[in-house]
């Protein structure tokens, strides 16, 4: 599974020796990292810095209107060009990272939170609880996320919070099913039965065995989910249901650039590239983490 | 360490016969890995085989027996390195074979029967199609001819109602029928050589007997047969010649009769010694000496009363079709203090359900169980929890019974629970338990995945002993282990029982194991008890027809005469690499 040579054991399941010859100076976890994963790590680190201290990465003001420099194509002065109000697009993307990432993280956290609650209840509950929750989740599944977003914007008005709630609730049913499946498989596992046979109280078994083991694969799903949520949020914003201007949130940038797409391609392409690059990197990291964690168990 | 015995050297073997031999292998080496980083798994083995002969390759996991077999059909995979002085099948040199050549050979000239019929057959395809494919790939006959041939083959391997069965998918067939379908596919093109890799390992005893019979038939038809197995008793039914492999070397290569009656190599002796059976009762199976001071027997005031008593148990489950199936049907038994009650039966006979009822992990539908003379099955779980320390369990697959995140130490701390408040006490107790089961302190920090199969089962035993139970339910505790590891674990269980006076409810499908360890035996079939009594009475003088059938299907091995009290004083060594006890540890 993993490419590290010392995991190759004898066939027939003899465990690999605990200590293996390793090269001096290079820590073990660094050697297994592929270049693509390292690059993805750099991209994510870049945007995380942009989220926390954007001024480190640009000295331009993302909100400064300069009517003499509208719709400039990329140049040394404005490496990603300027928009219809002459604002520097690079600065706007950097400053927009905060809201975009917040929406991604917030939506995933909300979706996961709801999913863990519902999934665990359904997995551990009796036939009735499971039936009611599972049917409810199926009904939620039938709602397109965009329709849900429309509903929320209509009721609460467009804002970051609305977007988080819309995307979070929209993605929750998928996660909830996953959680329920995990809980079910752990609940029926040999070690839970062994714990019952030892006479441990049920609450303790849930706390010590079922919950941690069921949640373990979700760590990876979450990293994948953040990228996904950002893409969803951008889609919602592109339709004009997201954060209102002059916010530099990435989806809002896409929406704003829509009218100028024939004159200024960079207004669509640059935020689009940022979204793709960031979610792709997160996905790559998530997959890597997945291999690491599952490989780690097999080792 | 690489001088493999040649067929002529090992005494009594007929000399290699270039005119008649179907298969000749000399100094075969197989390694895996990339470029310079190649690990050699098979270190130069040699054997030959004539039509109508059966060669058995015997060994434990990791011995390289399956790799050797796969080499003969070119299925070692991309990262393998195969070299040999000779690798000849008929007049063809297999060393020069390319993928294309192998595809022409496999199925047509060499049939390969894989171990696990359930995963080796396509779940979505009727078995008739699967067998047909073997013919179609080699352009055999027209569609109608192939159809007739498929039915003929299925008839040949003893599948009843072939026309009906051919249209069924693997999951609609029993394990025995699936395995026979695989055999039918393997012999479809009437290959001259059949290689069977553990063909009966996952099968029930009576089904195993039927499959072995099929292979015997093929041999009678003049086919050459290579049988790969860890089970010497199975091998003794079929083999003309036996090669014993260990760590990639053939340690002993001799005619079957000679190998079983006068094994030369100590490892062969040890393998034969390790097989539990009626004769091995009261004798140690492994050469490891008994540990002393295993702990104190529990002082017991109720020595004569049954410690676990089940009366007229009933349990039924609702199937997916909505019909109730009675899985445990009127089962009663008694288990006395310090006694082992063996429960034997084939898969689906209800023995595991009976075990779970005894553990009160399932509620009974009817009847009742008392534990140490007090009500057990009828109590609410809240009440039972306090007394669960009295009865514990060892599972077949220890790995799945441990939380994968936990180290051995965490597993043990968890098992000791509240009875030991201070951590100091618990650590002392854990050290004591580990010593009882023969594990070292260094194992404490490992996770189950980092332990070998035998060590895992020892941890499971230590965990079961932790709460100082009166009864341990052992559900197939040695079925997943190699013969020599099985021997050690069985010895350990016997030792612990003598020291601690604990009772075992011992469940197994293996009559030999059951006979070795049990004082009394309960034979189950279709949820019912068909026979119950003293182990020797039931297994040596069975009354019920089902027990008779079961006993008759057990492959029995002719044992060598015991040589002295403990036969491991290094008898004259056979040709072959140095074998030491440490290598097996």
Question: Dihedrals φ, ψ of B255, to 5°?
Answer: -60, 145
Three-state SS for A184-200 is: HHHHCCHHHHHHHHCCC
List the alpha helices (DSSP H) in B59-204: 65-71, 99-105, 117-120, 127-136, 143-156, 162-165, 175-186
Half-sphere exposure of A224 (CA within 13 A, CB side): 13
ipTM: 0.75
Domain ranges of chain A: 91-298
The half-sphere exposure of B377 on its side-chain side, counting CA atoms within 13 A, is 23
Q: Closest Cα partner for B285 from B57, B578, B486, B480?
A: B486
Query: Does domain A91-298 bear CATH number 1.10.3720.10?
Result: yes
CB of A196 less than 8 A from some CB of B: yes
By Cβ distance, the residue of B63, B67, B361 closest to A197 is B361
Residues of B with Cβ-Cβ distance to A216 under 8 angstroms: 405
B225 φ/ψ angles, rounded to the nearest 5 degrees: -135, 130
Contact (CB, 8 A) for B202 and B211: no
Distance (Å, rounded) from C-alpha A207 to C-alpha B232? 46
DSSP-derived secondary structure for B277-303: SSTTTTS-SSSSPPPS---PPPP-S-S
Closest approach of chain B CAs to the CA of A295, in angstroms?
12
φ/ψ of residue A67, rounded to 5: -70, -10
**List of chain A residues whose C-beta atoms are within 8 Å of the C-beta of residue B60:** 12
Residue A113 pLDDT level (bands cut at 50, 70, 90): very high
Gap between the Cα atoms of A145 and A148, Å rounded: 5
Alpha-carbon gap: B40 to the closest alpha carbon of chain A (Å): 10
Within B166-290, where are the H helices? Answer: 175-186, 205-220, 232-238, 256-261, 266-273
CA distance B392 to A196: 10
User: In the predicted model, is pLDDT for residue A61 greater than 90?
Assistant: no
Q: Name the phi and psi angles at B374, rounded to 5.
A: -115, 155
Sign of the alpha-carbon torsion through A4, A10, A12, A14? negative
Give the mutation candidate from A18, A192, A194 for the B interface (greatest B CB count, under 10 A). A194
For residue A20 the two structure tokens come to: 């293996």
Split at pLDDT 50, 70, 90, the class of A25 is low
Widest distance between CA atoms in chain B: 78
Q: What does the pLDDT look like over A271-292, one tens digit per residue?
A: 889 988 998 898 888 888 777 7
The candidate with the shortest Cα–Cα distance to B52, out of B218, B294, B184, is B218
Within chain A, how many helices (H) and strands (E) appear?
12, 0
Query: What pLDDT is stored for residue B301 in this prediction?
Result: 47
Q: Which residues of A175-214 are buried (b: 16+ CB within 10 A; e: fewer)?
A: bbbbbbebbbebbebbbbbbbbbbbbeeeebbebbbbebb
Angle at B17 between CA B16 and CA B21, to 5 degrees: 100
CB B28 within 8 A of CB B273: no
Query: Residue A208 carries which DSSP code?
Result: I
Strand order of the sheet with strand B391-394?
A: B391-394, B471-475, B503-508, B340-344, B520-525, B528-534
pLDDT attached to residue A27 = 64
| Helix, strand, coil share of chain B (percent; to 5) | 35, 25, 40
Nearest-neighbour CA in chain A from B62: distance (Å)? 5
Close Cβ partners of B174 (under 8 Å, ≥ 6 residues apart): B207
- Rounded distance between C-alpha atoms, residue B347 and residue B174, angstroms: 11
- How does pLDDT run along chain B (585 residues), one tens digit per residue? 333 344 433 445 655 666 778 899 999 999 888 777 788 889 989 998 998 899 999 988 888 888 898 888 888 877 788 889 989 898 888 888 888 888 888 888 898 887 766 677 888 888 888 889 888 888 888 888 899 999 988 888 878 888 888 888 887 877 778 888 888 888 888 899 999 988 877 677 887 888 888 888 888 888 899 999 888 888 888 899 999 999 889 999 989 888 888 888 999 888 888 888 877 777 788 876 665 555 555 555 455 678 999 999 999 988 777 788 888 999 999 999 889 999 998 877 888 899 999 999 999 998 899 998 889 988 898 888 888 989 999 998 888 899 888 889 889 988 887 555 566 678 888 888 888 888 888 888 888 888 888 889 999 999 998 888 999 999 988 887 888 888 888 999 998 898 888 999 999 988 889 999 999 999 999 889 999 999 989 988 999 999 998 888 888 776 554 443 333 333 333 444 444 544 444
Q: List pLDDT tens digits, range B199-221.
A: 877 677 887 888 888 888 888 88
Chain B, residues 331-390, CB within 8 A of chain A, namely 359, 361, 384-389
Domains detected in chain B: 23-273 (3.40.50.300), 306-552 (3.40.50.300)
| Under 8 Å between Cβ of B490 and B516 | yes
Q: Are B453 and A13 an interchain contact pair (Cβ–Cβ within 8 Å)?
A: yes
Q: How far apart are CA B543 and CA B563, in angstroms?
A: 35
Q: Provide, as residue numbers in chain B, all residues whose Cβ is less than 8 Å from the Cβ of A207.
A: none
B320 versus A164: the higher-pLDDT residue is: A164
DSSP state of A241: -
Separation of first and last alpha carbons in chain A: 10
Of A15, A191, A216, the CB nearest to B402: A191
Are B32 and A8 an interchain contact pair (Cβ–Cβ within 8 Å)? yes
Contact (Cβ atoms closer than 8 angstroms) between residue B552 and residue B546:
no
Q: What is the pLDDT of residue B28?
A: 92
> What is the C-alpha separation between B347 and B393, in angstroms, rounded?
19
DSSP secondary structure, B515-582, as one string: HHH-SEEEEEETTEEEEEEEHHHHHHS--SHHHHHHHHTS--PPPPPP-SSSS-S-PPPPSS----HH
**From the candidates B401, B476, B482, which should be mutated to test the interface with A, based on the most A CB atoms within 10 A?**
B401
Smallest Cα distance from A12 to chain B, Å: 5
Q: Which residue has the tokens 């990293």?
A: A223
In the predicted model, is pLDDT for residue A15 greater than 60?
Answer: no
* Separation CA A59–CA B259 (nearest Å): 86
Q: Phi and psi dihedrals of B337, rounded to 5?
A: -60, 130
Task: Write down the pLDDT at residue A232.
Answer: 85
**CB contact, 8 Å: B405 with chain A?**
yes
Q: What is the pLDDT of residues B66-124, one digit of tens each?
A: 889 888 888 887 778 888 998 989 888 888 888 888 888 888 889 888 776 667 788 88
């Amino acid at each position: 599974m993993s490419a590290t040579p010392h995991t190759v054991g004898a066939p027939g399941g003899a465990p690999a020796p605990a200590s293996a010859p390793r090269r001096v100076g290079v820590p073990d976890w660094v050697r297994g990292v592929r270049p693509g994963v390292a690059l993805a790590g750099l991209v994510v680190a870049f945007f995380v810095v942009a989220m926390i201290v954007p001024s480190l990465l640009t000295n331009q003001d993302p909100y400064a209107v300069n009517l003499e420099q509208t719709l400039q194509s990329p140049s040394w002065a404005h490496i990603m060009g300027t928009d219809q109000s002459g604002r520097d697009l690079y600065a706007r993307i950097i400053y927009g990272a905060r809201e975009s990432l917040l929406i991604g993280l917030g939506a995933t956290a909300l979706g996961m939170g709801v999913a863990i609650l519902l999934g665990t209840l359904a997995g551990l509950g009796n036939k009735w609880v499971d039936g009611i929750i599972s049917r409810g989740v199926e009904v939620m599944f039938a709602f397109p996320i965009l329709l849900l977003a429309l509903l929320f914007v209509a009721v609460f008005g467009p804002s970051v919070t609305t977007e988080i709630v819309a995307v979070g609730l929209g993605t929750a049913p998928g996660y909830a099913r996953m959680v329920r499946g995990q809980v079910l498989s752990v609940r029926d596992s040999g070690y839970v039965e062994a714990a019952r046979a030892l006479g441990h109280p049920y609450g303790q078994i849930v706390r010590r065995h079922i919950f941690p083991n069921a949640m373990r694969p979700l760590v990876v799903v979450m990293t994948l989910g953040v990228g996904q949520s950002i893409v969803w949020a951008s889609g919602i914003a592109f339709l004009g249901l997201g954060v209102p201007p002059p916010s530099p949130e990435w989806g809002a940038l896409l929406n704003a650039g829509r009218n100028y797409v024939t004159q200024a391609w960079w207004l669509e392409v640059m935020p689009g590239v940022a979204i793709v690059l960031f979610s792709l990197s997160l996905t790559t990291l998530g997959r890597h983490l997945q291999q690491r964690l599952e490989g780690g168990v097999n080792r | 360490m690489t001088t493999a015995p040649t067929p002529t050297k090992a005494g009594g073997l007929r000399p290699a016969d270039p005119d008649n031999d179907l298969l000749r292998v000399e100094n075969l080496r197989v390694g895996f890995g990339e470029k310079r980083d190649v690990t050699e798994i098979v270190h130069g083995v040699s054997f030959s085989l004539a039509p109508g002969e059966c060669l058995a390759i015997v060994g434990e996991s990791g011995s390289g027996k399956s790799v050797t077999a796969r080499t003969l059909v070119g299925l070692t995979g991309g990262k393998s390195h195969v070299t040999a002085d000779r690798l000849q099948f008929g007049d063809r040199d297999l060393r020069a074979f390319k993928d294309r050549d192998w595809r022409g050979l496999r199925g047509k000239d060499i049939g390969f029967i894989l171990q696990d019929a359930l995963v080796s057959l396509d779940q979505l395809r009727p078995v008739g199609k699967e067998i047909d494919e073997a013919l179609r790939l080699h352009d055999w006959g027209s569609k109608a001819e192939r159809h007739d041939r498929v039915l003929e083959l299925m008839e040949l391997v003893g599948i009843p109602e072939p026309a009906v069965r051919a249209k069924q998918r693997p999951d609609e067939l029993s394990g025995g029928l699936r395995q026979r379908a695989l055999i039918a596919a393997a012999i479809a093109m009437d290959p001259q050589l059949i290689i069977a890799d553990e063909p009966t390992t996952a099968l029930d005893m009576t089904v195993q007997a039927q499959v072995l019979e099929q292979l015997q038939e093929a041999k009678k038809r003049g086919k050459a047969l290579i049988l790969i197995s860890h089970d010497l008793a199975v091998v003794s039914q079929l083999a003309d010649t036996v090669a014993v492999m260990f760590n990639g070397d053939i340690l002993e290569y001799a005619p079957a009769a000679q190998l079983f009656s006068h094994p030369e190599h100590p490892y062969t002796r040890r393998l034969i010694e390790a097989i539990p059976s009626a004769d091995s009762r009261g004798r140690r199976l492994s050469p490891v000496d008994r540990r002393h001071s295993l702990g104190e027997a529990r002082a017991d005031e109720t020595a004569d009363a049954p410690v676990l008593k089940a009366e007229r148990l009933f349990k039924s489950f609702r199937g997916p079709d909505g019909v109730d199936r009675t899985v445990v049907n009127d089962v009663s038994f008694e288990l006395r203090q310090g006694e082992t009650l063996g429960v034997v039966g084939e898969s689906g006979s209800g023995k595991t359900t009976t075990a779970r009822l005894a553990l009160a992990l399932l509620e009974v539908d009817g009847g009742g169980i008392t534990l140490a003379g007090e009500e057990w099955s009828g109590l609410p779980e809240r009440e039972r929890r306090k007394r669960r320390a009295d009865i514990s369990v060892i599972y077949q697959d220890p790995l799945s019974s441990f939380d994968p995140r936990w180290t051995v130490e965490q597993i043990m701390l968890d098992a000791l629970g509240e009875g030991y408040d201070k951590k100091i006490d618990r650590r002392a107790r854990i050290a004591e338990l580990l010593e009882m089961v023969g594990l070292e302190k260094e194992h404490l920090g490992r996770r189950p995945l980092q332990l070998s199969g035998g060590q895992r089962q020892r941890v499971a035993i230590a965990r079961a002993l932790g709460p100082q139970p009166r009864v341990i339910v052992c559900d197939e505790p040695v079925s997943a282990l190699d013969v020599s590891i099985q021997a050690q674990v069985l010895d350990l269980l016997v030792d612990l029982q003598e020291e601690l006076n604990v009772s075992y409810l011992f469940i197994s499908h293996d009559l030999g194991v059951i006979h070795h360890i049990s004082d009394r035996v309960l034979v189950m079939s279709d949820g019912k008890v068909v026979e119950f009594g003293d182990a020797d009475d039931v297994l040596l003088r069975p009354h019920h027809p089902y027990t008779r059938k079961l006993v008759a299907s057990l492959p029995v091995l002719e044992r060598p005469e015991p040589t002295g009290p403990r036969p491991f004083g290094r008898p004259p060594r056979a040709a072959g690499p140095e074998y030491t006890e440490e290598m097996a540890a």
